[in-house]
Chain A
Amino acid sequence: MNKLKLFILSTLLGLSALAQQTAVATLTTGGTAYNVIANPAAISSITFTSTTTNPAVLYLFDSATTTTNYVQAAYTGVTSYATNWALVWTNESDIVITNTFVGTWTGPTTVSAVTSTLPVLAAAVAPGNGQSVRSLNLNTTRGLTAVASTPGILQINYRR
């Protein structure tokens, strides 16, 4: 019976370890991107520790690499603005009439290709030699990449 209990307990512990994972990354250089998770993940919390005497600002991006930029291809979007439209016509008594209709014009607009920075998923600030702990509920589609303003250590609890 004791062996059975031990087996059940070890199975449960094993499942827990599989379900919840932790990643730790040392961000040794400020302003440099570090890829912490290279797969889609559900982020539940982060602990960020500044390893210098300066406050550190941390930004998290949805990326599977150290790239935080992306190229948005050119496309045709939609824009609208208030305008008016004049119609000049001649009535049955040969009187020229101008109707001015007031409204909003909505039509296509060309958006050029541009290189942009990925949106920031979440941010955290740790005081000098201090720690910031945040509970999060984030789903990433590609992975997780971190950039800190000054060196620090980042611990992430996640599932995937």
Chain B
Amino acid sequence: MNLPAIDQNLCGSWTQLNKDTYNTVPYYLQKATAEFRKDWPTFANLLGKRRWSQNQGPILRTVMTERSPMIRQTAYPQPLTVTPTVDVPVQRERTAETSPLWHDFSSVAFNWYPEFNDFLKHVKNAILDINRQIALYEETFYKTYMWDYAPYVYVVGDTAGQGIVAAPQSTDGTGKTTAWLQSMLNRVGGNGQLTFIEMSNILNKFQQVVGGTPYSGSEVPNKDSSPLTDKYCLVTSEEVYNSWAGDPWVLNNRPLALNILTEGFRGEPLGRFVTKIEKFPRRWAVTGEGATAITEHAPETVQLDSARFDFGRTYPNPSYANPTVSQYCLSWVMGGNSYETIEVGPPPGDFTSMDPMMNWNGKAQIIKAMMVPCTQPDGSVTYEFNERGRYLKAIGTVILGMLGNNAFNVLPVLHKRPLFILPSQTVPNAG
């Protein structure tokens, strides 16, 4: 039948239009929120701060007075009938040095059209994303520096010593080599978990061998028959904290008021560790007998399988998250006044007062001063200034520094990750 038509007899016929005849909108776009676990800084709040003064040279050196060592365990003064012997203590000075370091961040170049045409805005989100990456970078830098600089590490379940190990130091990753780390990971023995039993040993070794000073509280007994109440800071992962609800020592000794069934573990382990949770703890994956290959996997990854419904999602990297792949983890015991972070302040005024403004405050900004590609008639690509302003980028620079005045007060702790939060139980004839 022709359409339109007139004067038709419709009995015994069926007239229908193709369902694609009229205009439709292919997608009904609505804005939604991608849910993810939030980030938080841990170490930036734990470390002291020292301001950098401009025009004072490239290296900041702090000078500290060191008391003379106690070198006697017995004392026998002379009778007054003879000339007394004499002690000659000599106090010393020691120094710590640092220089500022910096790192750049940049978004991709944004053309104006998607911002005009697309459903969502992108530039603002790019700025927020760069700011998050800068904050993560800062936190990662602190951890990297403290790991490289640490004079001691603690090996949980040490099969070759007492747990505390003097470690090579550097500021560029050359000290604690992969081969050295292999030897340390192979010393993590038995259960390998950061349990209360291990923490009691860490407490003693940190105090007695390292000479660590408290994170908080008094180092002096406040009365007779009273234990010291000073506390140390333990920075560890959420899974380790959760595992304390199943710690054998906790299970054997917990007061009934500690409701681990519905509230989990609460409190400060041994009354001496203030605990802080770290979002992205450093983890190592080992393969080969004797950890002959050690890999560090990225904490997060992106789902690239377009056939999956979560295509494009940023989520925990399975290789990092799975304790059967990344089996080892790093926690930290921290005392007081260990490191100071460097606050450099703005760049010299002449460089910040006119466009393009120099900035290193760790916050992203939008710039248009850039070169953009231009295709010449002969097909060659040249670059010319973004004179029409059709492109922009978000950029950021962060300036960082650390000063290890009392680096011994940070003790990295190497341990295995818990495969299960609660201890494995024997089930008769299971399987």
Binding site for B on A (CB under 8 A): 16-17, 20-22, 39-45, 63-65, 67-80, 101-103, 106, 108, 111, 116, 118-119, 121-122, 135, 137-139, 141-142, 157-160
Contacts and interface: CB of A to CB of B under 8 A. Distances in A.
A75 B425 CA distance: 40
Interface stretch (B140-148, B178-186, B381-389): B178-186
Contact of B426 (A45, A64, A75): A45
Contacts of B327: 40, 141
A90 to B, nearest CB: 19
Interface of B: 69, 71, 90, 159-160, 165-168, 177-180, 182-183, 186-187, 189-193, 248, 286-292, 323-324, 327-328, 416-420, 423-427, 429-431
Nearest to B92: A101
B182 A137 contact: no
Contacts of B178: 73
A4 to B, nearest CB: 25
A69 B180 contact: no
A108 B420 contact: no
A83 to B, nearest CB: 14
B289 A119 contact: no
B323 A40 contact: yes
B190 A122 contact: yes
Given A72-B290, A118-B186, A157-B427, 20 more contacts: A22-B429, A22-B431, A39-B324, A44-B423, A67-B289, A73-B179, A75-B183, A76-B168, A76-B177, A77-B168, A80-B166, A103-B69, A121-B190, A137-B424, A139-B192, A139-B417, A139-B419, A141-B192, A142-B286, A157-B424
Contacts of A158: 424
B180 A137 contact: no
A157 B183 contact: no
B289 A16 contact: no
Contact of B189 (A111, A121, A137, A159): A121
Contact of B431 (A17, A78, A103): A17
Nearest to B429: A22
- Of listed B180, B187, B290, B416, residue having the most chain A CB within 10 A: B290
B180 A76 contact: yes
Given A73-B182, A139-B416, A21 B289 contact: no
Contacts of B159: 119
A80 B189 CA distance: 24
B209 to A, nearest CB: 11
Given A159-B424, A160-B419, A141 B166 contact: no
